[in-house]
Amino acid sequence: MNISSVAIGQYIPGESLVHRLDPRTKIALSLVVVVALFIVKSAWAYAALGALIIGTVAAAHVPLKMVLRGLRPLLFVMVLTFGLHLFMDPGEPIFRIGKIVATDKGLAQGLITVARLSLLIMATSIVTLTTSPIAFTDGLESLLKPLSFVGVPAHELAMMMTIALRFIPTLLEETDKIMKAQMARGADFETGNIAKRARAMIPILVPLFVSAFRRADELAMAMEARCYRGGQGRTRLRQLRLGSLDVAALVLVTVYAVAVVAVL
């Protein structure tokens, strides 16, 4: 097993128009597109929204392959729902396998569901592919801030996300090291039944938790030593600012989405 080959985050640095957009603009617009995808019903509407998404991918200079890779984890769900629609929906039969009948309406509904799922994922992937994790959490915090009046801890949530992202590589490295140290003591993680393999994880998990808590403690101390006391009155090195590019994107994409929902 090679832990270091696990890719962390999917941000692809770049200088394209999409990269330069404010993270808030990107998060908000992906929400607009997601809502539109849930409202529309016709195949034309899906085609129109699909064109918008593919166009954005092209404008972002992100390889389409990277965007499609996000679909892989959901492949099984898509195949399953497509099959269920195809064979379970009422309608004119197209073909049959034994007693199971595939219908035309089922085929159409299945395709639409698959299209909806794929476009949903692609629309959100564009955001994570073109926004650095730090910018993303900053944007999220800024968008959630109005909700802090009703008790949503916006700053705390964003800080937790930032810290979690920051520590994923560290913890993976730590895991790798502990695994190797236990392998040097004859530990075996690869053979045996599930129960035995689960037990074999204990020598990794205990030291990993111990070190994670130690790191958390040290980090808390270091943050306090630098006078961290929550988000109140905290200024930022990088201010988020909406530019004319953001206004243009917000207006154009929203108008387009509304038009698609209204017309098609």
Partner 1 sequence: MSDTIIEVRDVCYTYMRGTPLARQALANVNVSIERGELVAIIGRTGSGKSTLIQHFNGLLKPDSGSVVVGGRDIWRKGVALRDIRRKVGLVFQYPEHQLFEETVAADIAFAPRNLAMSEAEVDEAVREAMRVVDLDYDALCARSPFELSGGQKRRVAIAGVLAMRPEVLVLDEPTAGMDPRGREEVLAEIRQLHETHGYTIVLVSHSMEDVARFAERLIVMDGGAVVMEGSPREVFRNREDLVRMGLGVPQVTGLMAELAARGLPYAEDVITVEEALHTLLPALLGAPSASASASASAGAGAGTRAGNGEGEVGE
Q: Give residues 61-90 in contact with partner 1 (rule: CB under 8 A).
A: none
Q: Which of 79, 94, 206, 247 binds partner 1 (CB under 8 A)?
A: 206
Rounded CA-CA distance 120/86 in Å is: 21
Is residue 4 involved in binding partner 1 (CB under 8 A)? yes
Tokens encoding 49: 């929204």
If the CB atoms of residues 204 and 249 are measured against partner 1, the closer one turns out to be 204
Contact 40, 264 (CB under 8 A): yes
Number of C-beta neighbours around residue 165 at 10 A: 16
Rounded CA-CA distance 67/53 in Å is: 10
Is residue 180 involved in binding partner 1 (CB under 8 A)? yes
Q: Across the strands, what pairs with 97? A: 100
Only one of the segments 41-49, 52-60, 93-101, 181-189 lies at the binding site for partner 1 (rule: CB under 8 A); that segment is 181-189
The amino acid present at 215, given as its one-letter code, is R
Q: How far is the CB of 4 from partner 1 (least distance, A)?
A: 6
The amino acid present at 2, given as its one-letter code, is N
Across 89-118, b (16+ Cβ under 10 Å) vs e yields beeeeeeeeeeebbbeebbebbebbbbbbb
Q: Which of 53, 57, 178, 257 binds partner 1 (CB under 8 A)?
A: 178
Q: Which of 115, 207, 256, 264 binds partner 1 (CB under 8 A)?
A: 207
Q: Half-sphere exposure of residue 193, counting CA atoms within 13 Å on the CB side? A: 1
If the CB atoms of residues 184 and 225 are measured against partner 1, the closer one turns out to be 184
Rounded CA-CA distance 134/240 in Å is: 12
Q: Which of 88, 111, 187, 264 binds partner 1 (CB under 8 A)?
A: 187
Report the number of secondary-structure helices (H) and strands (E) in the chain.
11, 2
Rounded CA-CA distance 62/64 in Å is: 6
Is residue 211 involved in binding partner 1 (CB under 8 A)? yes
Is residue 182 involved in binding partner 1 (CB under 8 A)? yes
What is the total count of residues that contact partner 1 (CB under 8 A)?
19
Is residue 231 involved in binding partner 1 (CB under 8 A)? no
Is residue 171 involved in binding partner 1 (CB under 8 A)? no
If the CB atoms of residues 188 and 224 are measured against partner 1, the closer one turns out to be 188
**Secondary structure letter of residue 8 according to DSSP:** P
Q: How far is the CB of 220 from partner 1 (least distance, A)?
A: 20
Q: Which of 47, 58, 147, 202 binds partner 1 (CB under 8 A)?
A: 202
Q: Which of 184, 225, 227, 237 binds partner 1 (CB under 8 A)?
A: 184
Give residues in contact with partner 1 (CB under 8 A). Answer: 4-5, 177-178, 180-188, 202-203, 206-207, 210-211
